[in-house]
Amino acid sequence: MMTLDSNLVDELLKHYKTPEDLIGERGLLKQLTVALLERALSVAMDEPRSRAVHDFSVRGSPFDSLHSRMADTSAANLSEYDDKILALHARGLATAEIQAHLQGIYGANVSPSKISSVTDALIDEASAWQSRPLERLYPIMYFDALPVKCCDGGHISNKPVYLIIGVNPQGMREVLGLWMADTDAALGDASFWHAVVSDLKNRGVEDIFVACVDGVKGLPEAIKAVFPDTVVQLCIAHMVRRSLNYVPARNHKAVIDDLKHIYRASTIEEAERCLDTFAAKWDGAYATISQLWRRNWDRVTPFFAYPEEIRKVIYSTNAIELIGANLRKVTNNRGSFPNDEVILKSFHLALCNIAAKRAMPIRDWKTALNRFTILFEGRMPVS
């Protein structure tokens, strides 16, 4: 139990004269309670950002225009609770939950229409962010899906939300956008993926060196159709996650450690030997894992054609994993979403909340960039 510093207590009571100063409506206890709760909420909101600051950045972050709008709004039009409403919405809380938080912490009676008006202002900004121009070249691009529970006509089903992160020539990670499919089955529709990849091209992307995908059908073909020179690499993090689906938690670490020998091998021949060793050790209990890797071997191993500097960047998916983990916090808090618009608003704010305020490059990017320049001669901009 924390012990309060007696000097701090004396300082707080310096202006105490009557009981009203302590327990009245504007008394010290009421003000202190509000201040502590508000500070605790602020720390909770900032925690993901502090962990993320060295891991990724979001160029053209959705909060850029939001902060600008709020800064330009006169005090008469901007409620003192707008930023708190946005912070709570970013956590995935529904309107009734936001109302309860504001009432419980600040004693504020904020109407549902007020909360909706604040969050609805995000739609145009989210749409503008989603359609903003992109870089001409992304040496690496990561594709990953996040299942979101959505209530449609009283029936709750999983709606896949696709997240794409690009690494630009400066080594900065950017969230390029969010795309929603109606159902998991829609992800296997070639027209859906062609529309997503074509959207990237229409927004200015002309070349991708390596696209790391998560194994969904139709996506590799769509990428190759729009960007024929792109190497399609199956995301290693995705393969590891799929492998662990067949393993009890007590053996997760041991299996992960042995899988690392496969994808961190120096050559494809060494990787094949490591896969054989893995199978000899684990097939008795989890034969499905080695079968999974052998079945996808042609998509797993393209990065072995590249030097270590590039391989580390390709199979290390910390950036997209971090973002996905933070977005999953939103979906866990919410349970289910009533419609696509609420998903877009909540994820839009959550991306802002976890985005770094200062762009940070991928570690050792300069070394990888030099290799990319040699291997993809003529495709890397001189500047």
What's residue 96's pLDDT?
A: 87
Q: pLDDT-based confidence at 7, cuts 50/70/90?
A: low
Q: Mean of the pLDDT values across residues 357-361? A: 49
CA-to-CA dists, residue 117 to 11, 111, 163, 317, angstroms: 41, 10, 27, 37
What's residue 147's pLDDT?
A: 85
Residue 298 belongs to some domain of the structure: yes
Task: Give the model confidence (pLDDT) of 78-98 as tens digits.
Answer: 456 788 888 787 777 888 888
Residue 170 belongs to some domain of the structure: no
CA-to-CA dists, residue 190 to 185, 194, 199, 205, angstroms: 11, 6, 14, 20
Task: Give the model confidence (pLDDT) of 110-165 as tens digits.
Answer: 888 888 888 887 888 888 889 999 999 999 999 988 888 887 767 788 888 888 99
Residue 173 belongs to some domain of the structure: no
CA-to-CA dists, residue 282 to 98, 237, 247, 274, 291, angstroms: 49, 19, 10, 12, 11
Residue 247 belongs to some domain of the structure: yes
Judge whether residue 104 has pLDDT over 70.
Answer: yes
Residue 257 belongs to some domain of the structure: yes
Number of H helices, E strands in the chain: 18, 5
What's residue 49's pLDDT?
A: 34
DSSP state of 146: E
Residue 128 belongs to some domain of the structure: no
- Number of structural domains found in the chain: 1
CA-to-CA dists, residue 229 to 15, 66, 140, 339, angstroms: 73, 37, 13, 38
Please give the Cα distance from 265 to 11 (Å, whole number): 62
Q: Mean of the pLDDT values across residues 214-221? A: 87
Task: Give the model confidence (pLDDT) of 288-346 as tens digits.
Answer: 999 999 999 999 999 898 888 888 888 765 666 677 778 888 888 777 888 888 888 88
Residue 288 belongs to some domain of the structure: yes
Task: Give the model confidence (pLDDT) of 179-211 as tens digits.
Answer: 987 766 566 677 889 999 999 999 999 999 999
Which secondary structure element, helix H or strand E, spans residue 159, and what is its range?
strand 155-167
- Count CA within 13 A, CB hemisphere, residue 96: 1
Q: Which amino acid is at 28?
A: L
Please give the Cα distance from 383 to 377 (Å, whole number): 13
Residue 199 belongs to some domain of the structure: no
| Residue 254 belongs to domain spanning | 236-316
Q: Could you tell me the pTM of the whole model?
A: 0.73
